[in-house]
Amino acid sequence: MKPFSTKEVAEKIGISRVTLQRWLLSGKLNEPDRFKMAGVDVRVWTESDVERVRRYKKAHYRKGRGRKKTS
C-alpha cells in the first residue's frame, strides 16, 4: 500500500490541508504515525487513515457557514 502525505489526503477527501491540520491539532482526529525524514516530522497516512478522515468529514463537516445539524 502506498502511504499518503497530508496534502494528498486532504485532496482525496475534498478539504483544504489547513482544515485537516486544524482537525488534527484540535484532537478531533487521531494523528497517523509520524517519522523523521531529513530532520522533519512527517505524517504517514494509510488507506485506513484516509477512510477514518472520510467518515469524520461525513459526520461533522459542512462547507460554508454553520455546522451540520444533528437530529
pLDDT tens digits, residue range 22-51?
Answer: 999 999 999 999 989 899 998 999 999 999
Domain spans of the chain, in order of start: 6-60
Q: Mean pLDDT across the stretch 50-56?
A: 95
Q: Is the pLDDT of residue 69 over 70?
A: no
* Total-model pTM: 0.80
Q: In three state form, how does the secondary structure of the chain look?
A: CCCECHHHHHHHHCCCHHHHHHHHHCCCCCCCCEEEECCEEEECECHHHHHHHHHHHHHHCCCCCCCCCCC
